[in-house]
Structure 1
Amino acid sequence: MSRDALIKVAIENLSKLSDQKIKEVTDFAEFLLSKSEDSMLVEGIQKMASESKSFDFLNDEEDIYTIADLKEIYK
């Protein structure tokens, strides 16, 4: 079924329900919307944190010295 057809069926079914049941359906729809919005916010925050340079100190640093730089090798 297409989105439009599903919406039409939902509206037809809602028109048959009592006011209390319509309130329950509305509350559930609002819950689904807030859940979707929350997940989008979390994804946005995760993306911002991963792209920021705040955690660059955790990356491995480039080696400054090599074994060739040693004057004396401890055995």
Structure 2
Amino acid sequence: MTKEEAINNTMVILDKLPLEKIQEVKDFADFILNKLEEQTLNLGIQKLVEEGKPYEFLKEEEDLYTVEDLKVRYK
């Protein structure tokens, strides 16, 4: 199914629903869109931090602690 077909099928279904149910579908679509935008933003920020120069020194810094230094290990 293409994106256009999915949209057309959804429009047919929405046309059969009462207004209050259409509002519920709209609210859910808004929720999904906001979640996707937030995820995209977080991935972009993560990429900038990983590739950014300000933290470059951390890659070359030797580890101060190892797993053996832990007193308690959590699973």
**Higher RCO (C-alpha 8 Å, min separation 6):** 1
The alignment's TM-score, normalised by the length of structure 1, stands at: 0.73
Unaligned ranges ≥5, structure 1: 62-75
Q: Which residue of 1 aligns with 2:42?
A: 42
For 1:52 and 1:2, the matched residues in 2 are separated by 38
**Identity across aligned pairs (percent)?**
43
RMSD: 1.3
Question: Which stretches of structure 1, 4 residues or more, deviate above 4 A after TM superposition?
Answer: none
Q: Which residue of 2 aligns with 1:33?
A: 33
Q: Which residue of 1 aligns with 2:64?
A: none
The alignment's TM-score, normalised by the length of structure 2, stands at: 0.73
3-state SS of paired residue (1:53)? coil
Tell me the alpha carbon deviations over residues 25-60 of structure 1, each in whole angstroms, 9 at most, x when there is no partner. 000001111111001100110011111122222233
Larger Rg: 1
For 2:60 and 2:9, the matched residues in 1 are separated by 58
Aligned amino acid, residue 13 of structure 1 = I
The structure-2 alpha-carbon separation of the partners of 1:57 and 1:24, relative to structure 1 and needing over 3 Å to count, comes to same
For 2:2 and 2:59, the matched residues in 1 are separated by 48
For 2:52 and 2:21, the matched residues in 1 are separated by 47
Unaligned ranges ≥5, structure 2: 62-75
